[in-house]
Amino acid sequence: MKRGNLYRIYPNKEQKVLLEKHFGSYRFVYNKFLHIRSTFYDKFKMSVSKSYLDEQLLRYKELYPWLKEINSQSLQQANKNLDNAYQRFFKGLGGYPQRKSKKDNNSFQVPQHYKINFSTSELFIPIVGWIKVKFHRKLLEEFKLEGIVDHDSNSEFLRTLTVSRTPTRKYHVSILTEDNINCPPTEPYTHVTMIGVDVGIKTFAALSTGEKIENPKFLKASLKRLKCLQRRVSRKVIGSKNRRKAVRKLAKIHELISNQRHDFQHKVSLYLICENQAIAVETLNVQGMKKNHKLAQSVSDSAWYSFVLKLQYKAEWFGKTVLKIGQWEPSSKTCHVCGYKNNELTLKDREWKCPECNNTHDRDINAAINIKKFALMGHEVEPVDSFSLEKGMKQEATML
């Protein structure tokens, strides 16, 4: 099972210069090869292979001598990553590859020849040298790695190393490891050991058990400070030192919000995975929801897509199951007791009373129960009491 381990590194001034050269060269090669592949196809309808571009890399080093100062394997990795991006595009797993920007793409990869010294908490990167690293979490603790560990002699455990820099000038390394341990088999589940989750804006997650997890709204809590710092940036002269300082302060607030959001989602996802054998969620058109300018900011702040991704890979780690229901299932409008569909339900209605069975429903809890039932109907599990779907399978409003 592969895992990425992220650690903070502390390069000195000379090493920072070398790292910045690697970031720029990696981005230069990626964008250059992307331009070649796009141009050949647009003008001649020809596909350029990865091996052909590898040969062109040698010629580029003669044309641009400063590329020789960079780890050659990191430059080759740029071509490999571009080819992987094209393959994902052809398979329908992503969009067309885009140019890497200096503002938000500062990273490069080291596939081999790096070393780790656990005794002195240092990391050796080719060309750059030994860098101080903070091992806040043990790396492959079950294998008890100690002293100096060389990638070349431990390639079955250590994979690619990625060096990155945040907008706040913090440097990190992500070490991809392989522990050669298969994921546990998926545990069987029933309607008792399964839970339905309905994500929203006011309430981050409503569970089919009746529990609600409030949305902390980290962006909204820091919005006043963000506006103040953004105004300060706009008043500074472009290219001045004062503007760079103001941008750095603004980036720190954005980084804080991002860290808070990820920490919250990690805790909630781990709680749900550990307490249940299966979790049912709804497929959401997040990009479509963002087109509503009144809710776009709240939808982005909730980051539902990121939350579902955390549920999926943690479920794989623990042998649990994540089920998804269709995007247009009428989970909020359908009474979970009798199956009546309330077509008059609007987004502002947080509670509603069923005219057939006279049960009063909380909108989010009712949706979570229905999500669980819809998921159970699509999979073979133990019998569960449920209503007929004949009463309502029409398109539901895209907003929660």
Residue whose structure tokens are 């302060």: 249
**Secondary structure string (H, E, C) spanning 43-62:** HHCCCCCHHHHHHHHHHHHH
List residues bridging with 198 in a β-sheet: 206
Distance CA 345, CA 132 (A): 58
Nearest CA-CA partner of 149 in 108, 184, 121, 172: 121
- Alpha-helical runs (H) found in the chain: 13-44, 50-63, 72-90, 218-221, 223-235, 241-275, 286-289, 296-302, 304-318, 363-377
Cβ-proximal residues to 191 (8 Å cutoff; 6+ apart), any chain:
372, 376, 381, 382, 384
Which 8-state DSSP code applies to residue 341? Answer: B
Question: How far are the Cα atoms of 15, 139, 146, 265, 368 from residue 343, in angstroms, in the given order?
Answer: 63, 54, 64, 33, 18
Alpha carbon 52 to its chain's center: 32
Measured CA to CA, the distance from residue 193 to residue 278 in angstroms comes to 7
SS3 117: strand
**Type of residue numbered 192:** V
Looking at residue 354, the DSSP 8-state letter turns out to be -
Q: Which residues pair with 282 in a beta bridge?
A: 325
DSSP of 140-169: SGGGT--SEEETTT-TTTEEEEEEEE-TTS
4 C-beta neighbours (distance < 10 Å), count: 11
Asked if 118 and 147 touch (Cβ cutoff 8 Å), the reply is yes
CB atoms within 10 A of CB 173: 20
Q: Return the closest-CA partner of residue 156 out of 145, 168, 171, 169.
A: 145
Token pair listed for 33: 């090869």
Q: Active-site residue numbers?
A: 198, 282, 364
